[in-house]
Amino acid sequence: MKEVTPAELKKMLDSDEKFKLIDVREETEFAELSITGCDLIPMNSIPENIGSVPRDIKVVIYCRSGNRSGVVINYLEKQHGYENLHNLKGGIMAYDKEIGL
């Protein structure tokens, strides 16, 4: 599984790189803490929202610690043939600790 570190994501956010950032946590978690510019697609709603996950640009998926986003990425890669997905290493907790929100 491809990963992006918090520092790499920060660099992507600060640049003009075209990519999509998706948070797969629940709405209550998202309301407490999120990365500006991301889309919320809770893990359990991914199957009915596959059309919201692009195939033609880099997609970074995150959750709290990287576990749920890893499950989502495995599902999308194995069941739907995605090849452009990256997991945020350590999730939003690592991003908040290293970069700050």
Catalytic positions: 63
At CA 74, angle to CA 69 and CA 78, rounded to 5? 155
Instruction: Please choose, from the candidates 84, 76, 32, 16, the residue with its C-alpha nearest in 3D space to the C-alpha of residue 55.
Output: 84
Q: Strands 19-23 and 58-62: what pairing? A: parallel
